[in-house]
Each structure stands twice: as C-alpha cells, then as structure tokens.
Structure 1
Amino acid sequence: MITTHQLSVSYGKETIIHDLDLAIPEGKITALIGPNGSGKSTLLKTLCRINKSFEGELSVLGKPIKSYPDKELAKHISLLPQVLTTPEDITVRRLVEYGRSPYLSYWGKLSQQDHQKVDQAIEETQIQDLVDKKVDALSGGQRQRVWIAMVLAQDTPVVMLDEPTTYLDLSHQVELMKLIQKLNANGKTIIVVLHDLNQACRYCDHLVVLKSGKIAVTGAPESVFTESLLKDVFDLDAVVMADPISNKPMCINR
C-alpha cells in the first residue's frame, strides 16, 4: 500500500532518514518504534507528505506520492498529528465535520453522504453524548476520541497516528489502543508512532524498528522483539516474555 526505496530525509545539513527501503503491509497495524531522535515522527510525516522534501522513491497504491493532488491524497491517507490545535469555541460535531474537507465542493456545503460519514465516525468513537459540547471543555481522553472521529470522517483506507497515547492516563491509553484495533478490524490500515514498547507488541501486527534514521528490523512482534534487539537499539537490559493475556511478547527491565 505504501512503499519506499532509498528514501532519505534531511533538515538542513542533518540527514534524519537514511536510504530507507520499506513496505507497509495492507490491512495491518504497523507501529514505528525506536529511541528518541531515531526518525519515527519524521518518517510518518514523510509517508503522508507533510514533509514534502525528500530523496528517493515513495509510492502510495503504486503511484509516486508526488503525483497526487492534495485533495486526492487526502482521500487515501489521514493523519492525527502529535500536536493538535483546537479552533477556539468549536463544537465537537463541527470539528468532526472538518474531516470531510477533501470531499467538499467549491461552495463547501456538506452533502447527505458527508453527514452520514460524520454520524458514522461519531458512532464508531462513541462520542454521541459530546456532539454539542465545546471541544476545549473536554478531558484529554474525550478530546483524543473527537480528533480520531474527525480522522475517521475523512474516510481514508490508511490512518496515521503520531504518538496518540502521549499525555493520556493509562486507562485512556488502553481505551485508545483498543479503538485502533477496532478500526483495523473494520478494514483500516493503521500506521502509528508509539513510545511504549509493550503497547506496540500487544496491539500491533507489524513493527518497524528505527535506529539513527535506519531500519534495524521489521516484522511481527513475535519474530523481532528480542532481548538482543532491546539492548542494541534501546540500550535496555530487559527480559522478554509472553504477555499472559495476549500471548504477545513483552519486556520487563532487569
């Protein structure tokens, strides 16, 4: 669905991503993990063309990403960024409606289909009781659900999320990761940047492990999440064992 060949990304004279060859599996949840500064968020922003300056090849559905007009690309890929700025004094429903922007006509009026997509996104994220509230009056967990509803209203086959669990308490993190699994079960290809390694293993199907802007390893958590990987990439002395609930690998510090 999304592939790169010899992809490199630089900021000024500093190269952040080095000659990356990558294939994102369709219909899976892929986690981008790695230490701070390894290039996770830079890679995600490049895969959805927020970062437009890069060298090498980057294709979406078999077409070079640079060949897509902005509105057409926005019908294939949606992004929930790490830093979110809420428009002042906006209601939940109005914010979710922004997700339909790529489909609006010149006059910018929502069609019946647009309203149906908004209603569906609100239902999937279970925020029906919040639709008339102001977004800036919500809790962090509620607000994150509203932003995800906006992304869902965009109705793209690929959904990208940049550190979506940051600043959420543990119960809301679990709730959000289960929602991501539900979206995937409904047919979405998910690419998510995560810091919590155990969350990445428990909730994701495919790991892309980055170290200093290069791929250390990719594959299913059961195949690639090892004690030697943790030591080499994260400088972490840990034991890897099976999660007693999910049977996925998990790590515990020695």
Structure 2
Amino acid sequence: MTLKISKLNAAYKAHPVLKNINIELNQGQVTVLIGPNGSGKSTLLKCIAQIHPQYDGDVAWENHSLKGLAKRDLAKQLALLPQHVTAPNGMTVEQLARFGRFPHQGWFKQWRAEDQAAINDALSATGLAEMRNVPLSNLSGGQRQRAWIAMVLAQQTPLILLDEPISMLDIGHQADILNLVRELAKQGKSIIMVLHDLATAARCADCMIALKDGQIIAQGNSRQILTPALVKQLYNIEVEVQHARSLAQPDLRRLVVIPEHFGDPNPCA
C-alpha cells in the first residue's frame, strides 16, 4: 500500500467540507475523483498535498505521515497542479518548467545535467519542446495548461495530484495527456486526479472514488461506480450507461454515460 488516508476531516473555518475520509491506494494506480461541484474533491487533493489549513486525521505515504514534512522533502514526494494557477508576466514555457526542479536543487542551487534532462523530457511529453522560449502570455489556454503539466512532470515525484488537468484542452490534447497519465502509472507513479467527464474517467481510471457532500459514496472500478443508480445519487440526473468501443482504440471498451430525456430527441429534424 502506497497512500493511506485515515479518518480525515476537513473544514473551511467552521464549515465541514470532508467527513471521515478513509482511502488506501496502491502504487502505479490512476485514481479519479468524481462528484458534483462542492463535494470536496479539490479539498481532498489539498489535504493530501498538506496545503489545506484545517484538517485532522492522517495522510501517510509509504507508511510515513506527510504531516509536518519540510516543504522541500514534501515536494520530492508529491506534485500538485491546482485547478486555477497563474504565472508571472513574461515567464516562458521553459522557465515555468524549471520550477519543477526546485526540490532537487542543492544548497547552492547548481543547475545539473539531470535537471535539464528532466525539463527536456517534460516539454517533449507535453508537446511543447518547440515552444520552450515562448512567453506563457502568448499561448492559448490549452497550451498554458500543458505548460503547467510540464512543470509537474519535471518535478519527477512518485505521487502526482491533478485537479481537472484536461478542462482547458481540446479532445486531441486531452487524449495525449490521459495517455501520458497511463504511461506514468505503468512506470510506477501514483496519480490522483479530478475529472468531470464520466466517460473519460472510466477510460483512464484504475480506481474511481465518488464524493458527495464531503463523504465517500462509493469506491471501485468504473463498472462498479458508473451505474445509473449511483450517477442519479451523485448528480440527480437519470442516465443510461452504455458500453461502446473507442474509435481510437478499437480493442478498448469504455463506459459512455448518456442522459435520458435530455434535450430535443430530434434536434436536426
């Protein structure tokens, strides 16, 4: 067992946000958090990353509590990409990616060959190698999102936390990032991310955790989680769950969630 969350409760001021969260996740696993807005998904990532100001319980990585860990040591273990991020004006793609190497720098902050190699690999993996010197302000929203993901990859941590990492991306770059996530899992990294598209979540998740009102409603694989009854419980919408073949990967079967009685049944008539 790699990550263990025990009896975790979190609040914003006096308002409870997470209630008695208990999770155990294995190494090399992609875990996707789903649930309606305000269910506690982002707060859970912040608690794992030790940046939420009010929580009790424990978060342990490799049987060692992350509470009280020095920032540099913590940053060697996990990387977090929040939902909303900004960078200083004029910063280039490569300059942003360099921030991912901060925890690996020595006292004198010498730039080493392995640091540059990590940057090059991250930019290549996110399709930004040819744009390394371009200011972030000149990029599209999707390109900027990939630049932030490159920074996370350059950090080279065994645990990666991603809050809606593909929300700004077109469908092609969504597929690229999710394929990259799967490849990172094959390399033994553990990834926890928030996704809203249930079909996408089903395609890439080894484990899904459904949250509502700060509590875990269900946990399991996509077939166990994405049932009409559970989707109704989470989102208050009637759905039909179908299995369809992916056009990009004909041997892969994935779940597609189709709302019932939604919109005009003959919109093109």
Corresponding residue for residue 148 of structure 2? 147
2:223 is aligned with 1:252: no
1:35-78 deviation digits (Å, cap 9, x = unpaired): 11110000111111111431112211111111421111100100
TM superposition shift of 1:244: 1.8
Corresponding residue for residue 33 of structure 2? 32
Corresponding residue for residue 249 of structure 2? none
TM superposition shift of 1:79: 0.8
Matches of 1:178 and 1:105, distance apart in 2? 33
- Secondary structure of residue in 1 paired with 2:232: helix
TM superposition shift of 1:14: 0.7
Corresponding residue for residue 122 of structure 2? 121
Matches of 1:108 and 1:80, distance apart in 2? 23
Corresponding residue for residue 3 of structure 1? 4
Corresponding residue for residue 91 of structure 1? 92
Unaligned runs of 5+ in 2: 247-251, 261-269
Matches of 2:14 and 2:95, distance apart in 1? 41
Q: Which segment drifts farther, 115-124 or 24-33?
A: 115-124
Corresponding residue for residue 74 of structure 1? 75
Corresponding residue for residue 42 of structure 2? 41
TM superposition shift of 1:153: 0.8
- The count of corresponding residues between Structure 1 and Structure 2 is 254
Matches of 1:38 and 1:131, distance apart in 2? 37
Matches of 1:179 and 1:137, distance apart in 2? 25
- Are 1:222 and 1:248, in contact at CA under 8 Å, matched by a contact in 2? no
Corresponding residue for residue 106 of structure 1? 107
Matches of 1:120 and 1:232, distance apart in 2? 42
Q: Would the alpha carbon gap of residues 155 and 135 (structure 1) be closer, same or farther in structure 2, given more than 3 Å must change?
A: same
Corresponding residue for residue 225 of structure 1? 226
Corresponding residue for residue 196 of structure 1? 197
Corresponding residue for residue 216 of structure 1? 217
- Are 2:97 and 2:151, in contact at CA under 8 Å, matched by a contact in 1? yes
- Are 1:34 and 1:40, in contact at CA under 8 Å, matched by a contact in 2? yes
TM superposition shift of 1:184: 2.3
Q: Could you tell me the percent identity over the aligned residues?
A: 35
- Secondary structure of residue in 1 paired with 2:18: strand
Matches of 2:38 and 2:202, distance apart in 1? 21
Matches of 1:191 and 1:236, distance apart in 2? 26
Corresponding residue for residue 57 of structure 1? 58
TM superposition shift of 1:131: 1.0
- Secondary structure of residue in 1 paired with 2:83: coil
- Are 2:145 and 2:168, in contact at CA under 8 Å, matched by a contact in 1? no
Matches of 1:10 and 1:120, distance apart in 2? 38
Corresponding residue for residue 160 of structure 2? 159
Q: Which segment drifts farther, 129-138 or 50-59?
A: 50-59
Letter in 2 for 1:193: V
- Secondary structure of residue in 2 paired with 1:178: helix
Tell me how large the CA RMSD over aligned residues is: 1.5
Unaligned runs of 5+ in 1: none
- Are 1:209 and 1:215, in contact at CA under 8 Å, matched by a contact in 2? yes
Corresponding residue for residue 240 of structure 2? 239
Q: Rg bigger for which structure?
A: 2
TM superposition shift of 1:228: 0.7
TM superposition shift of 1:169: 3.3
- Are 1:117 and 1:153, in contact at CA under 8 Å, matched by a contact in 2? yes
